[in-house]
């Protein structure tokens, strides 16, 4: 559907060169040559997303969206299992709502897309359209960059008594932040996400909720995305605008850069105070409501791609692959295809009975070699190839995407074999990413070591920090590294700050980050 060669070109290529040309056009820049270029090419060539005609905004293509749908479905299930319900709030937020929480508006004002008019009209020469100046809004509306303000304006109507609490609501939505430098999935002006917004009677309950949700995110990242993450707390300067505490999950990409993959915020009573949301407690006292918010976005697509993929293309963990198994017939004559198809249909029925998604690509537009490359590029975890000799021998060739290895196995019990294989692949991907991550957490004890690791090895650098935002800022200026988090499982340890030399009570994790 979306190949890069124009039809005109194709018509003048003889059939024999077909495979070769297509293969070439699909070939990616190597990661070792230019990681960033590799990523951009992969996203486009694997049919995941592409830039639209509008600055910073992407089109999520069907294959990319199918992966996002798998993520959504699983996350939604986990949210519901933890007692949350979905709802939907307005896209546009009056400018005055933003001003109500001081830090919040500071955080988002600089990237706000502003609606000022509500009508177009024909120009006086009748040839074009223009904004109708008579249709100016009294108050400008902002396209939500996040929905705390509109939601707390709503919660004011919903909450009077402790009986109305907790409110455990999530929203699946698009949001907009006018980023200047954008990259597909990782940083786009518009992105898709979910944002949970909860309201509670007590501080403790709200903190427990925020912690629960960062655990849900970590569970999802590790067990579905096969992506190891470090759970921790953000420093003040990396905190969400308006939060008292931000929890984060941090992943490590193959180029040694960290990627913040999900955050959960304990908002204290900040938004309740900004929007005057009080409740009558069990003791009959009027008190401000406690809040959390938490979100993950289509950025996770970028994380997924960069964690596992290789120079041949995408590598998908089976649990999130839209197609888990692709079957390709190898044949010369139509009669052979017929026989193969009979056998394939048996296999498909067995796999489907096990809940495994299968695609049988018996199209005759392309040769098997082309198809092999195509599904490798698209990251399908398992490929089966079946030819006339396999029929004779009652075998099938099984190729796994993660290791690029092949095996010929017996047709008997192939469904169970594949079921186990998918499980193995899921585990292996996690293990591989975890090994990489674990060998890329480096303890350093002075600033030279710190810089050396950042420049030559990459990954997380575990170093002492004196706790001062100024030191953190200085380190960022000098090295571009930021404190990704203070891990939850950190051990107290006396030391001295790598830059300031001041006393420190614990190590924190630095890294260059996306």
Q: Which of residues 260-299 bind a copy of itself (CB under 8 A)?
A: 279-280, 284
Burial class (CB in 10 A: 0-12, 13-18, 19+), 506: middle
Q: Which of 20, 24, 37, 59 binds a copy of itself (CB under 8 A)?
A: 59
Minimum CB distance to a copy of itself smaller for 47 or for 268: 47
Tokens of 476: 């960022």
Burial class (CB in 10 A: 0-12, 13-18, 19+), 129: exposed
Cα dist from 296 to 109, 301, 401, whole Å: 21, 10, 27
From the list 158-166, 350-358, 432-440, 446-454, the region that binds a copy of itself by CB under 8 A is 158-166
Q: Considering the complex, what minimum distance in angstroms separates the CB of residue 453 from a copy of itself? A: 37
Tokens of 98: 């933003």
Minimum CB distance to a copy of itself smaller for 6 or for 334: 6
Q: Considering the complex, what minimum distance in angstroms separates the CB of residue 18 from a copy of itself? A: 12
From the list 134-142, 287-295, 453-461, 469-477, the region that binds a copy of itself by CB under 8 A is 134-142
Position 419 contacts a copy of itself (CB under 8 A)? no
Q: Which of 17, 25, 36, 85 binds a copy of itself (CB under 8 A)?
A: 85
What angle in degrees, to the nearest 10, is found between the helix axes of 18-26 and 368-377? 10
Q: Which of 22, 39, 79, 98 binds a copy of itself (CB under 8 A)?
A: 98
Q: Considering the complex, what minimum distance in angstroms separates the CB of residue 365 from a copy of itself? A: 7
Minimum CB distance to a copy of itself smaller for 69 or for 493: 69
Q: What angle do CA 506, 512, 514 make, to 5 degrees?
A: 125
Q: How far apart are CA 31 and CA 310, in angstroms?
A: 7
Q: Considering the complex, what minimum distance in angstroms separates the CB of residue 296 from a copy of itself? A: 16
What strand order describes the sheet that includes 325-329? 358-360, 325-329, 382-386, 395-400, 406-410
Q: Specify the residue for token string 């790598």.
A: 498
Tokens of 11: 């018509």
From the list 83-91, 310-318, 372-380, 466-474, the region that binds a copy of itself by CB under 8 A is 83-91
Helix (H) or strand (E) holding 84: none
Position 65 contacts a copy of itself (CB under 8 A)? yes
Position 448 contacts a copy of itself (CB under 8 A)? no
| DSSP letter, residue 102 | H
Beta-strand ranges (E) seen in 190-244 are: 190-200, 230-233
Q: Which of 28, 43, 75, 150 binds a copy of itself (CB under 8 A)?
A: 150
Position 113 contacts a copy of itself (CB under 8 A)? yes
| DSSP letter, residue 30 | P
Q: Considering the complex, what minimum distance in angstroms separates the CB of residue 62 from a copy of itself? A: 4
Restricting to residues 27-56, name those near a copy of itself by CB under 8 A: 50, 52-54
Minimum CB distance to a copy of itself smaller for 49 or for 483: 49
Nearest to 248 by CA among 457, 483, 89, 491: 483
Which residues make Cβ contacts (< 8 Å) with residue 455, sequence separation at least 6?
A: none
Q: Considering the complex, what minimum distance in angstroms separates the CB of residue 122 from a copy of itself? A: 8
Restricting to residues 181-210, name those near a copy of itself by CB under 8 A: 190, 192
Q: Which of 105, 233, 421, 433 binds a copy of itself (CB under 8 A)?
A: 105
Restricting to residues 330-369, name those near a copy of itself by CB under 8 A: 365
Q: Which of 38, 79, 152, 162 binds a copy of itself (CB under 8 A)?
A: 162
From the list 161-169, 311-319, 323-331, 392-400, the region that binds a copy of itself by CB under 8 A is 161-169
Nearest to 307 by CA among 410, 411, 379: 379
Q: Considering the complex, what minimum distance in angstroms separates the CB of residue 116 from a copy of itself? A: 5
Q: Considering the complex, what minimum distance in angstroms separates the CB of residue 461 from a copy of itself? A: 35
Q: Which of 13, 87, 349, 404 binds a copy of itself (CB under 8 A)?
A: 87
Minimum CB distance to a copy of itself smaller for 141 or for 321: 141
CB of 288 within 8 A of CB of 262?
no
Q: Which of 121, 338, 474, 480 binds a copy of itself (CB under 8 A)?
A: 121
Q: Considering the complex, what minimum distance in angstroms separates the CB of residue 496 from a copy of itself? A: 39
From the list 146-154, 383-391, 457-465, 477-485, the region that binds a copy of itself by CB under 8 A is 146-154
Which residues make Cβ contacts (< 8 Å) with residue 247, sequence separation at least 6?
A: 210, 211, 214, 231, 232, 233, 234, 263, 264, 265, 266
Q: How far apart are CA 459 and CA 454, in angstroms?
A: 7
- DSSP bridge partners of 291: 199, 268
Nearest to 225 by CA among 295, 296, 314, 300: 300
Q: How far apart are CA 210 and CA 292, in angstroms?
A: 6
């Amino acid at each position: 559907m979306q190949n890069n060669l124009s039809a005109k070109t194709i018509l003048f290529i003889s059939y024999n060169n077909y495979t070769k040309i297509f293969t070439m056009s699909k070939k990616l820049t190597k990661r070792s040559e230019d990681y960033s270029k590799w990523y951009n090419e992969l996203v486009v060539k694997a049919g995941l997303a592409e830039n639209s005609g509008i600055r910073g905004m992407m089109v999520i293509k069907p294959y990319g969206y199918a992966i996002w749908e798998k993520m959504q479905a699983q996350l939604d299930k986990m949210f519901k299992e933890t007692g949350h319900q979905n709802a939907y709030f307005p896209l546009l937020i009056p400018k005055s709502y933003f001003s109500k929480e001081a830090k919040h508006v500071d955080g988002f004002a600089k990237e706000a897309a502003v609606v000022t008019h509500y009508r177009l009209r024909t120009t006086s020469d009748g040839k074009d359209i223009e904004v109708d100046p008579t249709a100016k809004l009294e108050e400008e509306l902002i396209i939500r960059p996040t929905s705390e303000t509109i939601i707390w304006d709503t919660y004011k109507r919903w909450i009077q008594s402790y009986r109305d609490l907790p409110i455990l609501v999530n929203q699946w939505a698009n949001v907009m932040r006018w980023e200047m430098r954008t990259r597909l999935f990782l940083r786009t002006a518009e992105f898709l996400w979910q944002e949970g917004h909860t309201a509670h009677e007590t501080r403790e309950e709200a903190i427990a909720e925020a912690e629960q949700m960062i655990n849900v995110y970590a569970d999802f990242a590790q067990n579905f995305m096969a992506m190891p993450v470090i759970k921790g707390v953000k420093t003040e300067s990396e905190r969400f605008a308006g939060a008292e505490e931000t929890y984060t999950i941090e992943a490590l990409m193959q180029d040694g850069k960290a990627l913040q993959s999900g955050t959960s915020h304990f908002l204290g009573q900040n938004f309740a105070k900004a929007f005057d949301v009080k409740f009558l407690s069990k003791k009959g006292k009027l008190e401000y409501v406690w809040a959390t918010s938490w979100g993950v976005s289509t950025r996770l697509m970028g994380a997924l791609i960069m964690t596992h993929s290789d120079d041949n293309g995408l590598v998908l963990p089976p649990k999130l692959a839209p197609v888990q198994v692709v079957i390709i017939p190898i044949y010369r004559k139509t009669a052979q295809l017929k026989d193969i198809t009979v056998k394939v249909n048996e296999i498909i029925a067995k796999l489907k009975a096990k809940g495994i998604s299968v695609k049988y690509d018996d199209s005759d537009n392309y040769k098997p070699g082309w198809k092999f490359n195509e599904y490798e590029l698209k990251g399908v975890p398992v490929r089966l190839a079946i030819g006339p000799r396999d029929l004779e021998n009652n075998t099938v060739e099984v190729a796994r995407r993660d290791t690029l290895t092949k095996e010929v196995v017996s047709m008997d019990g192939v469904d169970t074999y594949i079921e186990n294989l998918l499980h193995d692949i899921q585990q292996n991907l996690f293990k591989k990413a975890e090994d990489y991550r674990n060998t890329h957490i480096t303890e350093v004890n002075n600033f030279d070591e710190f810089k050396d690791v950042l420049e030559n090895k990459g990954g997380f650098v575990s170093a002492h920090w004196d706790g001062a935002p100024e030191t953190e800022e200085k380190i960022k200026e000098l090295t571009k590294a930021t404190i990704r988090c203070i891990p939850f499982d950190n051990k107290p340890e006396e030391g001295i700050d790598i830059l300031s030399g001041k006393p420190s009570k614990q190590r924190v994790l630095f890294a260059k980050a996306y």
